[in-house]
Structure 1
Amino acid sequence: MKIVFLVTLLIAMSSAVSAAPPSELLVRSCLQDKSASPSIVVSDLDTSAIIEENDYSDGFNAPYFFKYKGGDVGYAESKHAKAIIFKGKLYRLSSAILLGDNHGSERDAFTPSLADWSMVEEGGQEYLCVSFNFDGLGQSGDFQYVHGGYLLNTRTQELYYSVRYIRPYK
């Protein structure tokens, strides 16, 4: 009986650890599209060969996707929803978990061709990162440092949304 309890406890603890949200440094690395710490690796994805497909999946059109490690990655939309595509699966933006103070911004849509697409890794966790500066608004002044982004944990498949002021440190 004790062994069953210990195994159950260990499984529960490992699930809780793997389901932890991304660290603030990982979020910052994603949104600024460069590492904010030596423990974080940011790898830009090759978006030079964009594909567009009507009726991609479940009533969604995919106006912007590309191949990554043999799977589809990109953006899809229907009449009522927008989604991130990862390995052919759709992750609705409306289901993204909000991270921290997002300055009143709630799961914004974005223009995929203007976004930065990357993989961000830290401590064995890997995230698809889609970072954007709200379609180029605020090219001057402090608003240029406000970025939004979606981070999809490739292991747990949890989608997060964050907005941060990412003015570089001096």
Structure 2
Amino acid sequence: MASLFRPGTELMVQYAGYHRDRRNIATHCVGIPLIVFALGVLLARPAVALGGVALTPAWALWGLATLWYLSRGHLLIGVAVSAASAVLFALAQPLGAASTAAWLAWGVGCFVVGWIVQFVGHYYEGRKPAFTDDLVGLLVGPMFVVAEALFALGWCRALFTEIERRVGPTVLRDLHVPAMR
């Protein structure tokens, strides 16, 4: 449990070490939002009306995750990943009111497709997913995807530089050569 509360830089460096192939990172930019959306769908039931607002387990999870993201030491990334997750959860919530078959089909379907996309990325990486060594990777994944988007916009340069200093630049791994990890 101690690893859960490490600083964001340490968490991001560890996670990035499992994600240096650009194709893997690209698949994560699709797979992780699908998984977060799926969690929003699956946790959209039961809903409790409180002052005209429907509270669901999804929003409880979002609140706890937001507190965690905001406390990792990178405020911009914390705010951005929390906002992105809120959008995905808000889009998912109406599916909680759908028929049970539709609710489960969307939730389980997006969850499974998201993980398939993730595992395709790890084929390119030549390395197992980070969460297999440290479950906190399941929380770091959305933070990593949002950070990658911010890096692409030229933001959070100090974190980007520190990650590359410690785990190297991103690459396109030659699939004919075994991964060196």
- The TM-score range, normalised by the shorter chain, is 0.3 to 0.5
- Is the strand fraction higher in 1 or 2? 1
TM-score by structure 2 length?
0.32
Higher RCO (Cα < 8 Å, 6 or more apart):
2
Give me the TM-score of the superposition, normalised by structure 1. 0.34
